[in-house]
Amino acid sequence: MQKIKEEKISIKEKIGFGLGDTASNLFFQTFMLFLLYFYTDVYGISAGAAGTMFLVTRVWDSINDPLMGIIADRTKTKWGKFRPYLLWLAIPFGIIGVLTFTTPDFSVSGKIIYAYVTYTMMMMIYTGINIPYSALMGVVSSSPIQRTSFSQYRFVFAFIGAFIVQGIMLPMVNSFGSDDTSVIRSEVKNMNIMITEKGTGTIKMEVKANIEGEKQEKIKNINVSVVNQEEYSKVDTGGNIIYLKKGFDTYNLSTRDLFPVEYSGIQSISVNNINERKGFSLAMTIMAIMAVIMFLITFLTTKERVQPPPQQKISLKNDIKDLLANKPWWILFALGIFTLSHVSIRNGAIMYYFKYYVGSDALASTFMISGTVATIASIMLTEYFSRIIGKKKLYVLSMSLTTIFVLLFGLLGQEDIYLMFILQILISFAFGPTAPLVFAMYTDAADYSEYITGRRATGLVMSASTMAQKFGWTIGGALAGWLLAFFGFKANFIQQNETLTGIRLMMSVIPAIGSLLGALLMIFYKLDDNYMKTIEKELVLRRNNTVI
């Protein structure tokens, strides 16, 4: 039997390829972590309306994925089938992303319409660039080992994108939105804060207290809402939230109430009003510029090496028929739905968990970063572990451990900050390998289809990866909004105990169901590493017109 020579591909190309997923995740992670919060707490759309919008727009967007895969498979240019879309759509991708986080001052119904239009456009352009990018991994090499390596680089850089979003998004929002006087003017008098009405809306007031003798600074974030609805007929204060009815003129906020423990030692205080609307829009502009540059680098540094069999005739009917008969594809499709559903619910709840349950949304960014560092570390070990125990067994083990750790998270109280971070690190490390493993398995499914049918439709097969992601994202995003509404959530309001319990469930028991189903489903996946070695050898022989 002829020995298959392993392809040699430069690290430079793998890094360039990985930057494409950094670009995608600058947007994807922003949507997953902050978009629901942005719509409810910043733009002023109800949680239920946002959840319904996610369902409607993302279902349509998910259906687009195989259509884009079909189009990409039939594209012929001097740059290949998939790479040119990175060039053509990078700039539109950035522009629509900024518009999605722009907040025109419309009525409530106008805001909902604007959100529907911009988010639908965003998801369509995301499909247009991300389906070809995902399919590109199926043609950069004919070797499953090399594709696993590409997948590992891809997801290391994907989570670098997540790290960037989690690390700098909120600081950029705070920086770009600082010193705002559109809603209130705040000034310090006699160690108290005098709040004067300037308009309606919500503002985040950051209060810094310098502690005498300890050379430290204590920071407290207060969410101030100036409203004109009758249901807020009086001043309602408590925790980190203040409601003031329009027409209050001036309100006195006592430093003694804000810092009861440190009050006797406070030397001075300062106040900064942060407009999160302005902050999110400008922060997203920076993200968009970075994403455009990275997509262009991916275009310039990658190559398409695998082509369909020369005798293959283009037939949409046959492509779809082959896809529907591909049982491993169906299993991976379902896995994508379960995985992204549980991730979307849990990640979408993080901002609410820290803002309303823990009482400090400032911790959210560090919490996210700690998990992402652990995820990157585990992804870097994915190729090593998959060589030892195989992709299938590694996936089952990862999802099982994730389920256990996520369930334990639900036992934590408000004061268990250290345990929250420890479990987040364990959850992220356990879950990290699943993403590169599944995407590598999709390329295996493309090989399997060619092995069984003699035909190859990489774009269509790989479109299942993002289609499944988006179905999961759709279900998880809609459920997150609906669950918040079901639990009685009201944005920028002091939450009832039932609501806080619901938010805790969204961080633990509810997402654990999805990870458990993913582990159980993988048991039925038959393309293990030994079977794929047989397929690889046969396909190389066919492509070289060689027989045993």
Using an 8 Å Cβ cutoff, are 504 and 356 in contact? no
Residue 23's pLDDT is: 96
Beta strand ranges found along 216-256 (DSSP E)? 216-227, 236-238, 241-245, 250-254
Q: Which residues contact 133 (CB under 8 A, 6 or more apart)?
A: 20, 21, 24, 82, 85, 86, 298
Beta strand ranges found along 228-302 (DSSP E)? 236-238, 241-245, 250-254, 266-274
Taking residue 413's Cβ as centre, other Cβ atoms within 10 Å add up to 11
Provide the angle, in degrees to the nearest 10, between the axes of the packed helices 458-486 and 497-506.
Answer: 160
State the Cα–Cα distance between residues 95 and 285, nearest whole angstrom: 8
Using an 8 Å Cβ cutoff, are 507 and 395 in contact? no
Domain boundaries, the chain: 11-176+278-543, 184-274
Taking residue 100's Cβ as centre, other Cβ atoms within 10 Å add up to 25
Q: Which residues contact 490 (CB under 8 A, 6 or more apart)?
A: none
Query: What residues of the chain score a pLDDT lower than 70?
Result: 1-7, 62, 213-215, 228-240, 308-316, 457-460, 462-466, 543, 545-548
Terminal C-alpha separation, the chain: 6
Task: Output the six-digit token pair for 83.
Answer: 């790479």
Residue 548's pLDDT is: 42
Q: What is the pTM of this model?
A: 0.76
Q: In terms of DSSP H, where are the helices of 137-274?
A: 144-176, 255-258
Residue 334's pLDDT is: 86
Using an 8 Å Cβ cutoff, are 294 and 22 in contact? yes
Taking residue 230's Cβ as centre, other Cβ atoms within 10 Å add up to 7
State the Cα–Cα distance between residues 391 and 441, nearest whole angstrom: 8
Sheet holding 201-211: strands in order across?
Answer: 236-238, 241-245, 216-227, 201-211, 266-274
State the Cα–Cα distance between residues 272 and 128, nearest whole angstrom: 41
Give Dmax (Cα) for the chain.
90
Structural fold of domain 11-176+278-543: Growth Hormone; Chain: A; (1.20.1250)
Say which amino acid occupies 375. T
Burial of 6 (0-12, 13-18, 19+ CB in 10 A): exposed
Give the residue from 306, 336, 301, 296 showing the smallest Cα distance to 65: 336
Q: How many CA atoms lie within 13 A of 502 on its CB side?
A: 19
Residue 413's pLDDT is: 94
Task: Output the six-digit token pair for 361.
Answer: 């949304």
Using an 8 Å Cβ cutoff, are 20 and 83 in contact? no
Residue 465's pLDDT is: 65
Grouping H, G, I as helix, E, B as strand and the rest as coil, residue 413 is coil
CA 516 centroid distance within chain: 20
Backbone phi and psi for residue 205, each to the nearest 5 degrees, phi listed first:
-100, 115
